[in-house]
């Protein structure tokens, strides 16, 4: 598959800069794959669109991972804790940074390539909310970049499909939790000409054995977000309940445990969009995105959601 097949044109004003006043006020585009039906709802309507699915969420928590550095002017983005006081992170401007140098609370130990560094962090992460670069408006409440069910800190970005849930909405659903700590694989753009040439480095996941037994036995499973899909499909292929996954879901993939998908609208040339295309089909996904743009849905992290049944 050519990477250009992940392209689409998005009017800049449809990139959501702030979350809605209430999480469940977001719009919800519903697509029924069996009938081809497309419906326009609000996220609060989600329970009425489901038919008894077990809803599986990713309960990772975002760390305050964006650490500014003064000289040279730049920043470090913490990606993953790899040992006591040791992290892997992105640092810029990489070409002006030096192995062994200290930048505030950060000491760079080894350049790993592609702007990635092994580093030592003094204390616990105490940086800024790692908002994506397409969001240019400061966030009034940092908790709005966390899901209401976030638990174990470890992510460099939020599992954004879950940002729409409220505690009240969760009580109306059958919910189970898994954990995947969002790192470089989730948000790194695809730059290779062929999608198959894109390399995944792997992300950490953990699922309680009793949670997996419940998920495995469920009649139908709704995965909340692409990160949840990757965990469930990794375990469905015989992986242990804790480890790393570099599962790359692209068109032609056989889904063994995910029956329905709840997801936000993703950037062009992203592995997240490739996963949605694998689930809904290339042409159908393009059509759904065309409808979403025509109907003025809000896109990306603080944007609206899509439910594919």
Summarised one tens digit per residue, pLDDT across range 94-110 is 889 999 999 999 999 99
Among the ranges 63-77, 181-195, 206-220, which has the highest mean pLDDT value?
206-220
pLDDT for residue 188 is more than 90: no
pLDDT in tens, 161-182: 999 999 999 999 999 999 999 9
Residue 62, φ and ψ in degrees, nearest 5: -75, 135
Mean pLDDT in residue range 221-242:
98
What average pLDDT does range 83-103 have in this prediction? 93
* Residue 142 clears pLDDT 90, i.e. is over it: yes
Instruction: Report DSSP letters for 153-208, one per residue.
Output: EEESS--GGGGG--HHHHHTS-EEEEEE---HHHHPPP-SSBGGGPPP--EEEE--
Q: What is the average pLDDT across 235-242?
A: 98
Each residue of 2-58: pLDDT tens digit?
999 999 999 999 999 999 999 999 999 999 999 999 999 999 999 999 999 999 999
Which pLDDT value is given to residue 186?
A: 84
What pLDDT score does 146 carry? 98
Task: Using the predicted structure, report yes or no on whether residue 252 has a pLDDT greater than 90.
Answer: yes
Residue 77's DSSP bridge partners are 66, 90
Peptide bond into 72 cis (omega under 30): yes
Residues 269-275, mean pLDDT to the nearest whole number: 97
Q: Which CATH superfamily is domain 66-121 in?
A: QueA-like (2.40.10.240)
| pLDDT over 90 at 281, yes or no | yes
- The packing angle between helices 282-294 and 271-280, to 10°, is 110
Residue 141: pLDDT over 90: yes
pLDDT at residue 184 is higher than 90: no
Residue 114 has pLDDT above 90, yes or no: no
Of the listed ranges 21-25, 26-30, 112-116, 290-294, the one predicted with least confidence: 112-116
Taking the C-alpha atoms of residue 61 and residue 88, their distance in angstroms, rounded to an integer, is: 17
Domains of the chain, residue spans: 3-62+131-308, 66-121
Q: Give the chain's mean pLDDT.
A: 96
More confident residue, 95 or 280: 280
What beta strand segments (E) does 4-151 contain? Answer: 27-31, 38-42, 54-58, 60-62, 66-69, 74-83, 86-92, 102-103, 106-113, 116-121
Say what the pLDDT of residue 193 is: 95
Q: What is the pLDDT of residue 215?
A: 98
Class of domain 3-62+131-308: alpha beta
Residue 187 has a pLDDT of: 79
Above 90 in pLDDT, residue 71?
no
Express as a percent the part of the chain with pLDDT over 70: 100
Other Cβ atoms closer than 10 A to 2: 10
- 3-state DSSP percent of the chain in helix, strand and coil, to 5: 25, 30, 45
């Amino acid at each position: 598959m050519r990477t250009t097949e992940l392209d689409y044109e998005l009017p800049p004003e449809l990139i959501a800069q702030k979350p809605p006043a209430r999480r469940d006020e977001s719009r919800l585009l519903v697509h029924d794959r069996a009938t081809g039906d497309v419906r326009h709802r609000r996220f609060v309507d989600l329970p009425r669109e489901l038919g008894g699915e077990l809803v599986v969420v990713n309960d990772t928590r975002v760390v305050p991972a964006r650490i500014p550095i003064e000289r040279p002017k730049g920043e470090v983005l913490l990606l993953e804790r790899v040992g006591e006081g040791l992290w892997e992170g992105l640092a810029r401007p990489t070409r002006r940074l030096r192995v062994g140098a200290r930048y505030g609370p950060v000491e760079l130990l080894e350049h790993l390539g592609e702007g990635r560094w092994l580093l030592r962090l003094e204390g616990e992460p105490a940086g800024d909310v790692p908002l994506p670069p397409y969001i240019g408006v400061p966030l009034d409440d940092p908790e709005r970049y966390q899901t209401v069910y976030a638990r174990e800190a470890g992510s460099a970005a939020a599992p954004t499909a879950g940002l729409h849930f409220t505690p009240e909405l969760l009580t109306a659903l059958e919910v189970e939790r898994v954990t995947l700590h969002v790192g470089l694989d989730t948000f790194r753009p695809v730059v290779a000409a062929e999608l198959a040439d894109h390399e995944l480095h792997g992300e950490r996941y953990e699922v309680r054995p009793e949670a997996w037994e419940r998920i495995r036995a469920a009649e139908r499973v709704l995965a909340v977000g692409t990160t949840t899909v990757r965990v469930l499909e990794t375990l469905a292929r015989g992986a242990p309940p804790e480890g790393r996954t570099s599962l790359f879901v692209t068109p032609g993939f056989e889904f063994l445990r995910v029956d329905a998908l709840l997801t936000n609208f993703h950037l062009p040339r992203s592995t997240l969009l490739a996963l949605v295309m694998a689930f809904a089909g290339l042409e159908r996904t393009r059509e759904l995105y065309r409808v979403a743009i025509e109907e003025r849905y809000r896109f990306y992290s603080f944007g609206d959601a899509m439910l594919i049944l």
